[in-house]
Amino acid sequence: MPFARPFTRPSARTTLATATRLLLAIVLTLGLAGLGTTSLGAPAGAADGVGPAARAAFTPLRFGDTGWRVRELQSRLHQLGLHSEVVTSRFDAQTRDGVRTFQARRHRETTGRVDARTWTRLVAVTTDPTREALHNIYTPGPALLAAGDQGLAVRRLQARLAQLRWWTGEVTGVYDARTTTAVRGFQEKRRIPVTGEVDRRTLDRLAAMTRQPTKAELFNIEPQGPTLDPRCMTGRAMCVDKTSRSLRWVVDGVVKTRFDVRFGSDELPTREGAFSVFRKSRDHVSSLYDTSMPFAMFFSGGQAVHYSPDFAATGYNGASHGCVNVRDYDGVRWLFDQVRLGDKVIVYRS
């Protein structure tokens, strides 16, 4: 009869060690399997969390689209400072510029089109928009300036409102009924809670749309204006001063009218020098950027003086692609009818 080893009951310590080794083996097996599917064997595109199926199912967003998805896109871009607080449901030029900037910051192709990869990354770095954000419902913040206030801050407020034609007459430095009315009008047009008081949102929006007021504007000093370039003193000229951000229409040395203007960015600067108008297009649309350029007066290649709805909406919180933007629609329409082919365009710094 073969020798039989006597049965010995395993100790609790031995049982625990065996169970621990078994559990570790299971964990390692599952971990390696997961590594094989997410890294070594991952399909193309999985590195950014977007597989082929997700890409195929995603409907891209592009210029001209409308709808709820565009509202969410704009709200998420706003969280990154790439869109105004107001969402519109329209994939417009501002939205496209925001998408391009987002893509450029992440070293991706700047198409201005939201594909699955762009959307996935945008969602990853933003939070879900609130109902209030998606419906442009804002809660007023604490008042920084209100009725009864006086001083330099009120003068700055009134001077900036004057740039947008919400304020007329002398700057007083007193927050009176007229100031309240002007602030309410500005807030209503910009979809800010209408209180007649200046909170942080109102002040930031106003500052973004205007330039720093001059001493003459703050204290009602009759301005002599920046020195006209000598080349503007004869004949007919659009005298464009980058320093004062102004365009003056000058005929035989006499300034006929003046406009606030903005210029191209550092990447796409407005060229300086002496030019002449070689083409006019009343209802022009850019073939390069697919944007409206009403009352375009071309003076250097594709650069022109023209009305800009974006400048009118967002002010100096932005830039052109090299053109001279005017935000006064009626004014530039009048100017378009005055300017002739061959008239001078002088772009300089005073």
3-state SS, residue 103: helix
Residue-level pLDDT at 29:
44
| CA-wise closest residue to 286 among 270, 264, 303, 269 | 303
- pLDDT interval class at 21 (50, 70, 90): low
Q: What is the mean pLDDT of the chain?
A: 85
| Rounded mean pLDDT, 255-275 | 94
3-state secondary structure 109-170: CCCCCECHHHHHHHHHCCCCCCHHHHCCCCCCCCCCECCCCECHHHHHHHHHHHHCCCCCCC
C-alpha torsion sign, points 39, 42, 45, 49: negative
The answer to whether the beta carbons of residues 72 and 88 sit under 8 Å apart is: no
Residue-level pLDDT at 245:
93
| Rounded mean pLDDT, 305-311 | 93
One fold for 60-134 and 152-218: yes
**Exposure string over 70-103, b if 16+ CB within 10 A, otherwise e:** bbbbbbbbbeeebbbbbbbbbbbbbbbbbbbbbb
Residue-level pLDDT at 124:
96
- pLDDT interval class at 238 (50, 70, 90): very high
Most confident among 29-43, 207-221, 248-262 (mean pLDDT): 248-262
Residues in the chain, total? 350
The answer to whether the beta carbons of residues 185 and 294 sit under 8 Å apart is: no
Could you tell me what percent of the chain has a pLDDT over 90?
63
Residue-level pLDDT at 313:
84
pLDDT higher than 70, residue 18: no
| Rounded mean pLDDT, 182-188 | 96
The CA distance from 99 to 94, in Å, is 9
Fold (topology level) of 152-218: Muramoyl-pentapeptide Carboxypeptidase; domain 1 (1.10.101)
Residue-level pLDDT at 45:
47
Residue-level pLDDT at 217:
86
| Rounded mean pLDDT, 276-290 | 92
Dihedral, 268, 274, 277, 281 alpha carbons, nearest 10: 10
Better-predicted residue by pLDDT, 47 or 90: 90
| Rounded mean pLDDT, 121-146 | 93
Phi, psi at residue 246, to the nearest 5°? -135, 155
Fold (topology level) of 230-348: L,D-transpeptidase catalytic domain-like (2.40.440)
| Rounded mean pLDDT, 292-319 | 92
- How many other CB atoms are there within 10 angstroms of residue 215's CB atom? 8
The CA distance from 88 to 76, in Å, is 13
Domain boundaries, the chain: 60-134, 152-218, 230-348
Q: What is the largest CA-CA distance in the chain?
A: 130
Better-predicted residue by pLDDT, 72 or 2: 72
Residue-level pLDDT at 30:
46
Tell me the CATH number of domain 60-134, given options 3.40.630.10, 1.10.101.10, 3.30.870.10, 1.10.1070.20: 1.10.101.10
Residue-level pLDDT at 301:
94
| Rounded mean pLDDT, 262-274 | 94
Better-predicted residue by pLDDT, 225 or 118: 118
Phi, psi at residue 296, to the nearest 5°? -75, 130
First-last CA distance in the chain: 116
Helix pair 177-189, 200-209: axis angle to 10 deg: 80
| Rounded mean pLDDT, 124-144 | 92
User: Tell me: the pLDDT tens digits for 32-42?
Assistant: 344 333 333 33
